[in-house]
Amino acid sequence: MINLNAKTRINPNEVLWLEGHINYSKVYLADQSTVFVAVTLKKVMEKLDENQFLRIHRSQVINLNYLKDFEITAEGVIINNAFLPISRRRRILVREKIERLNVF
């Protein structure tokens, strides 16, 4: 469990993906719930394992443990019927990291 702020704790293994919204972060969990916290995505990322989470866009971070549930497209990934864009700058890095995991 990690503390996102004084009142909010999450299990990183339950996180599907995260979205950054200026000074807030929205955490999407495996049980279909979401948690909205007043912490920047950068601060949340500092608390997460960089081998488990990958930033695919300025405002999007995915949990690599759930890649088996993802569909990769030319512009992004789809998880739970939600499209998450991969930035052009990060596209090669994301593909390389996925290939190293030998998921597909």
Q: What is the pLDDT of residue 69?
A: 54
How far, in Å, CA of 67 to CA of 37, rounded? 24
pLDDT along the chain (104 residues), means of 10: 82 94 94 93 92 91 78 73 83 80 58
Q: What is the pLDDT of residue 82?
A: 79
Half-sphere exposure of 101 (CA within 13 A, CB side): 18
Provide the token pair at 52. 């488990």
pTM here?
A: 0.82
How far, in Å, CA of 3 to CA of 47, rounded? 8
Q: What is the pLDDT of residue 48?
A: 92
Beta bridge partners of 24: 21
Rounded to 10 degrees, the C-alpha dihedral 33/35/40/43 comes to -90
How far, in Å, CA of 104 to CA of 98, rounded? 8
Contact 39, 25 (CB under 8 A): yes
Ordered by where they begin, the domains of the chain are 2-101 (2.40.50.1020)
Q: What is the pLDDT of residue 88?
A: 85
